Structure 1
Amino acid sequence: MAQKRLGNQTVQLQNSPTIIATASIVGPKEGKGPLSSYFDKILEDDLCGEKSWELAESKMVKEAMQMAIDKTSYVMSNVDYIFAGDLLNQLMSTSFAVRDLKRPFFGLYGACSTMSESLSLASMIVDGGFSDLVIAGTSSHFCSAERQFRFPLEMGSQRPLTAQWTVTGSGCAVISSKGKGPKIRRITTGKVIDEGIKDPNNMGAAMAPAAVDTIRTYFEDTNDDIDSFDIIATGDLGKLGMDIAKEFLMKSGYDISKIYTDCGVEIFDSKKQDTHSGGSGCGCSAVTFCGYIYNKLINKEFNKVMLVSTGALLSPTSTLQKQSIPSIAHAVIIQND
């Protein structure tokens, strides 16, 4: 019998796992943004000393995972499982990274929702008593994502104002059955939502309905108090998607405007850095959470947080076939003791 379920899509973790450490690595552009002081490492160049952007992303993943473990009293061999993924075909960046770490691995693809997805599954496996120590993480890279999903950078294609800038970065969290730190209390797993948006340069509009559905479902499942949250942060809707989500939640009777932000809005100064609608990519919510938000939790400036990473589940093939963009969002509620 599913004793931990609340409502239709939410679970209450009875043995709330602890996030005992995080690590975040970002590229040079992200390092010049408003959150620069919260990142563990800022790369000097996007290639990170490698021969390709994909290998550079893989190097970020490996370094972020090792860096996070080094902040704890454990070593990598103590890790029971790694839950992680990226945007590239066959999870190239993540798979190449974890082959050297030699730990049991679950590869995930949730597009840009992967940070919340990895946190969700890692927490469930710890709460269920199957593990004591798990790594959850993800990554993205502007150049590798552009090459796969849009146009070669060499073309110099003009980006419309609705477009977002894929974050170059990797974030990961170490989740433990014991230890000090903020705890993951509840998880709301999202449904695939598709409102017919076909424009791959307007991801915010495509993903906003999924974020709205998941946030609304969480409050319907739990009857939780909106005012009990210090911050509700969606993943990478950007400015346009954030405005859409805010408006539709308001129409549903949920006014989160005082505590709502979006990681894609926070990570760049869109006017000074020319990122149009803001940031996107798996790394967007990953480094914003593992850097900025986790720091605020550790320092007790935040007590209760909802992270809602959002993902557009399109592919180069689906775009060429003129398919609309299905999207998903997963919510993780993190709280101090």
Structure 2
Amino acid sequence: MPAPKRIGSQTVAFAQPPVILATAALAGAKEGQGPLRPTFDKVIEDPYYGEDSWEKAERRFLQEALEKALAKANLRPEQVDYLLAGDLLNQIVAANFAARALGIPYVGLYGACATIYEGLALGAMLIDGGFADYVLIGSSSHYSTAERQFRFPTEHGSQRPPTAQWTVTGAGAILLGRQGKGPRVTHATIGRVIDLGSTDPMNMGAAMAPAAANTIVSHLSDLGRQVTDYDLILTGDLGYYGRELLLALCREYGYELGERHNDCGLMIFDRQKQDVHAGGSGCGCPAVVTCGYLFQELSAGRLRRVLGIGTGALMSPITTKQGDTIPAIAHAVVLEA
């Protein structure tokens, strides 16, 4: 007997769609200079955020975002059933330390930059499955911690090619509930790992675009929907070149995304005024755009149905240095006002 909530090959439909009760978005100084500044709860000018390392600063970003989402919903940590969170640091230590501080039963996630949407999908499954009343989800990144781990320390002053993206300094948090008022998570499409042989860590958009296309096409096929069934199809952090590749790949499958598509990595910065090359990236990129701009647009009714796709490059510094290819993942959820 097939699973009753499963549709097609990769998609699930929630019988009682969980509600996004509250979100919080904290962003760094460069992000605050971009066009989405009014949608952030807080812009933090100091990259150290009063700490003695960038890693500790990122931990503080994430913990504060999680606490702020709880405060908006007037909930205490002990009322939350599960915390699902992750980041880009080795052993996802930003999330681990935030979980230590909050004391909520915790599942650490690593989906690279797709983590916030991975958490949304899994959190919705926990609630719709009857395993939780409240699930808290979070994700973060920091320009300096990510550069030091995956590429070069900022002190190195290395040149970046045009395809490189700027890792977002920021954190986002989402509180899901079984009941209440707010946008709902109605469907989720879990992605497959796609690897078409890209090896350039300075061009992650090229590595992630095929995974995004695979998930979008699978989602539309599973539900028998068209691009026009969505007000917005939003990818996580493909950047300029990744977006162009995504549009071409979807076109080959017969889907013209056109103006209904946008990318968090292109929205968070002004590429004409800010030196970010191909756009933004990092776990914090889709997290702050989703928890700020997207949540506000859905809550106000300016957007009614959105397909959000988190995109992640599943590489490590070791595999990159060994010349291996970059596998990628994309997870999608449907958010409805």
TM-score range, shorter chain: over 0.9
Alignment RMSD, CA only?
Answer: 0.7
Are positions 1:200 and 2:201 aligned together? Answer: yes
The CA distance in 2 between the partners of 1:121 and 1:260, in whole Å, is 24
DSSP-derived class of the 2:35 partner: coil
The residue aligned with 2:320 is 319
Task: Spell out the pairing of 1:173-212 with structure 2 (5 A cutoff).
Answer: 173-212=174-213
The residue type equivalent to 1:111 in the other structure is: A
The residue aligned with 1:267 is 268
The CA distance in 2 between the partners of 1:130 and 1:267, in whole Å, is 35
The CA distance in 1 between the partners of 2:85 and 2:248, in whole Å, is 32
The residue aligned with 1:143 is 144
DSSP-derived class of the 1:302 partner: coil
The CA distance in 1 between the partners of 2:124 and 2:322, in whole Å, is 37
Could you list the runs of 5+ residues in structure 2 that have no partner in the other structure?
none
The residue type equivalent to 2:94 in the other structure is: S
Deviation at 1:225, TM superposition (A): 3.1
The residue aligned with 1:234 is 235
The residue type equivalent to 1:53 in the other structure is: W
Q: Percent identity?
A: 50
Deviation at 1:44, TM superposition (A): 1.7
DSSP-derived class of the 2:318 partner: helix
Are positions 1:246 and 2:247 aligned together? Answer: yes
TM-score by structure 1 length?
A: 0.99
The residue type equivalent to 2:66 in the other structure is: M
The residue aligned with 1:109 is 110
Deviation at 1:15, TM superposition (A): 1.0
Which aligned segments of 4 or more residues in structure 1 are displaced greater than 4 angstroms? none
Deviation at 1:73, TM superposition (A): 2.9
The CA distance in 2 between the partners of 1:131 and 1:116, in whole Å, is 18
Could you list the runs of 5+ residues in structure 1 that have no partner in the other structure?
none
The CA distance in 1 between the partners of 2:239 and 2:224, in whole Å, is 28
The CA distance in 2 between the partners of 1:86 and 1:70, in whole Å, is 22
Please tell me whether the aligned partners of residues 115 and 138 of structure 1 are also in contact (alpha carbons under 8 angstroms): yes
The CA distance in 1 between the partners of 2:229 and 2:298, in whole Å, is 14
Deviation at 1:309, TM superposition (A): 0.7
Please tell me whether the aligned partners of residues 119 and 137 of structure 1 are also in contact (alpha carbons under 8 angstroms): no
The CA distance in 1 between the partners of 2:291 and 2:193, in whole Å, is 25
Question: Per-residue displacement from partner, 1:64-117 (whole Å, max 9, x unpaired)?
Answer: 000001111322211110000000101111111110100100000000110110
The residue aligned with 2:97 is 96
The CA distance in 1 between the partners of 2:162 and 2:71, in whole Å, is 41
Task: Spell out the pairing of 1:1-337 with structure 2 (5 A cutoff).
Answer: 1-336=2-337
The residue type equivalent to 1:60 in the other structure is: F
TM-score by structure 2 length?
A: 0.99
Question: Per-residue displacement from partner, 1:134-185 (whole Å, max 9, x unpaired)?
Answer: 1011000000000000011111000100000000000010000000001000
